[in-house]
Structure 1
């Protein structure tokens, strides 16, 4: 017989459960209210700083007039009209280029595209790549409105997009909240969540969760990124990889660079310091000066990451044994590499350093090289992407800061196809090692095969994107 003492006190248990439920509900409501308070404060700050934001764009327009001529778009006044399109937000030039395979697949599927961006370079890239589609009314590109609810309400009322696809890692609270409020499907594609941001966001997880939970579908670059989104309560996360593995290589640039390498730089060991950031120029200068004193047959190429730095740091290198020639001195800014004469570069050997002061020609500089060092990786900026040099089978070195390219950098390190160094001394030593390997012809075909296989194995992100968009019924209906 079971004693009365063994029986639970159901009344007390129910009271206890109610207390637990009430406590959980209270915590939930508290976090929800704090998130709402932070969001409202964020809105107030945008209203207060709106005049400063407008002044900033006027300042940028001194060098780039496009920032002022279409400023009304930032305030949600648009002349273009393209309703029912797939709205894709790509913050700048890099994201626009990376998203091109996605744009092409959507157009092939019969969709119309509304592309928003924040920069003039991103906007111009869409205009250049999709001139015919823009004329036919299949594509429109505009600046995204500033982060004020009223602006986004007017934006959404004008364009009535069928879905919103945010690319890479550009999350704007008002954009996301306004889109969800209008019951427009929200997709986060090419989604990445760097470890640096993840550690920061874990301090106040409910704030990040209030954004992540609004997405109907997140298409992440890797399993690492997927697990971080899931930590903050994402509804549905799938891994598709990175469409940068599908980007077209500029054949004309590569062809001209190959001719220069074979005919002019054949006997030289050529190092390309690609996409160099502000705090890296002094470090690179020390390495260049040291190597040029040690070896007489090294040719250097330095490509600043930001156009504002094109003329700013050149004088650091134009001294001693180093003779600098700028790309702008060799030829006009806008050139057709297919029609260009090889004679343009004949005098290049009279110099020891080519200064890459041009946009959109990084592949040209890298294709001339024996090895590429990827910039913004010595200055805690997370590094420029490594996919471009791997696409043209160039050995790659990166610095310690690779949080911005965690995928595919960690996978590439595991595969043994890139080298990571800790600082200036290791970078100099690594370049000397590759120099001797080239002279002794120790660079094996195996390493090139590894690069090719790595590139092929990571191909196909845009196909996976289309499959998931169709499976989740975000595409394939209401075509005009």
Structure 2
């Protein structure tokens, strides 16, 4: 009954959802394309294989090592990757080209999910992190398609939201064939919401299993060498309301280090032009990454207005601030800069990566700032004391290396499910 009411409510909301899609298409034209896929028509589907769902860019990047290993270990099983956003779609095609099938996930209505699953006929459905939908899981169960939650994460804040609709989500969580989750506190939250303990494993986060691309890092070093001797910091994945705080911090950094450069990378591409105007309004000369040239000595900001180049930007920097944390978004992936040996700065809102941020903070790799003034002070401090920055970066890299292995545990469990159907029992540690 709760899922029936949910479906009816979804149907009633569908006009609003479509209007929102039109609004997003007005701001980002890519949303105007491929609407048929959202209703389970069209799409490049590779049948009788592995289905991976990654909602957007971050999840797609996190899933990439897993997908490559699945392709290597199961060459006879084609992989299809679904997502929800144009930026996620662009990232998937950029990383994999035509080596995987790809489509948007349909809206979570039972007849749409049923049509999609019937067309795809997957042997397993692997859902990244927390992108669970009641009808999707129910229709997989109806079609006898095992569902794996990979790299599962669940903040206390999200768990509270789920508890309010426990009657709806309880059966969904109980239906998971295997949940590979990042930490013990998150495991307890998943079990509380209905995941069967025998079907749950604490694998750690596959985001620790980062292997920086040597060619990409060589490219970053070549960039940096061409910029001359100047301190560089990056503000990654910033959100609306946060860019101005970063720019204010950079104004203060420029007082102490007039030659310094900020690489500012907004989270969402539809905001690139607005942030470019904002930089100009703050009186700072800038260059856009899409312009193709190198920053001149008079440029104070490089706007990272591309997708899929975050590791390149990190590779050019001395200090990294990770956005979504000075505004209540919950933070983003702190492990990418840590893996490259950068000292990491974050705002106070980091609930999406609470366990990871605690590990880095306790190791001395990450510091928390409350506002633009504290952000500037920390950047200036690291610029003034490069040995301190080096020690903090080394501590972060050590944390990353010490926590690797989740990807192998996830792959082993998924392989057992594809073979024996008992991943939870065999992979629990």
Q: Which residue of 1 aligns with 2:361?
A: 413
Contact kept in structure 1, 2:331 and 2:351, CA below 8 Å = yes
Q: Which residue of 1 aligns with 2:322?
A: 374
Cα distance 1:64–1:420, how it changes in 2: closer, same or farther (>3 A)?
closer
Contact kept in structure 1, 2:43 and 2:102, CA below 8 Å = no
Report SS of the residue matched to 1:378. coil
Cα deviation for residue 250 of structure 1 reads 4.4
**How do 1:108-123 residues align onto structure 2 when only pairs under 5 Å count?**
108-110=72-74, 111-123=77-89
Contact kept in structure 1, 2:263 and 2:304, CA below 8 Å = yes
Cα deviation for residue 356 of structure 1 reads 1.7
Q: Which residue of 2 aligns with 1:149?
A: 110
**Number of positions where the alignment pairs a residue of Structure 1 with one of Structure 2:** 417
Cα distance 1:227–1:357, how it changes in 2: closer, same or farther (>3 A)?
same
Report SS of the residue matched to 1:426. helix
Please give the alpha-carbon distance, in whole angstroms, between the structure 2 residues aligned to 1:42 and 1:206: 11
Please give the alpha-carbon distance, in whole angstroms, between the structure 2 residues aligned to 1:413 and 1:387: 12
Gaps of 5+ in 2: 422-429
Cα deviation for residue 60 of structure 1 reads 4.1
Q: Could you list the per-position Cα deviations for residues 288-329 of structure 1 after superposition, in whole angstroms to 9, with x for gaps in the alignment?
A: 222323432322221111112111133333367632222233
Q: Which residue of 1 aligns with 2:218?
A: 255
Q: Which residue of 1 aligns with 2:425?
A: none
Please give the alpha-carbon distance, in whole angstroms, between the structure 1 residues aligned to 2:28 and 2:215: 27
1:350 aligns with 2:298: yes
Cα deviation for residue 252 of structure 1 reads 4.1
Q: Which residue of 1 aligns with 2:97?
A: 131
Cα distance 1:131–1:40, how it changes in 2: closer, same or farther (>3 A)?
same
Report SS of the residue matched to 1:348. coil
Q: Which residue of 1 aligns with 2:276?
A: 314
Q: Which residue of 2 aligns with 1:285?
A: 247
Alignment counterpart, residue 177 of structure 1, candidates 126, 138, 142: 138
Report SS of the residue matched to 2:385. helix
Question: Cα RMSD between the aligned structures?
Answer: 2.4
Cα deviation for residue 177 of structure 1 reads 1.5
Segment of structure 1 superposing worse, 146-155 or 347-356: 347-356
Contact kept in structure 1, 2:286 and 2:302, CA below 8 Å = yes
Alignment counterpart, residue 194 of structure 1, candidates 155, 162, 170: 155
Contact kept in structure 2, 1:98 and 1:247, CA below 8 Å = no
Segment of structure 1 superposing worse, 191-200 or 446-455: 446-455
Contact kept in structure 2, 1:327 and 1:358, CA below 8 Å = yes
Contact kept in structure 2, 1:188 and 1:217, CA below 8 Å = yes
Cα distance 1:109–1:256, how it changes in 2: closer, same or farther (>3 A)?
closer
Contact kept in structure 2, 1:198 and 1:228, CA below 8 Å = yes
Contact kept in structure 2, 1:274 and 1:372, CA below 8 Å = yes
Alignment counterpart, residue 98 of structure 1, candidates 59, 62, 81: 62
1:230 aligns with 2:191: yes
Contact kept in structure 2, 1:253 and 1:361, CA below 8 Å = no
Report SS of the residue matched to 2:306. coil
Cα distance 1:349–1:152, how it changes in 2: closer, same or farther (>3 A)?
same
Alignment counterpart, residue 327 of structure 1, candidates 260, 278, 289: 289
Please give the alpha-carbon distance, in whole angstroms, between the structure 2 residues aligned to 1:125 and 1:327: 17
Gaps of 5+ in 1: 1-35, 134-138, 332-343
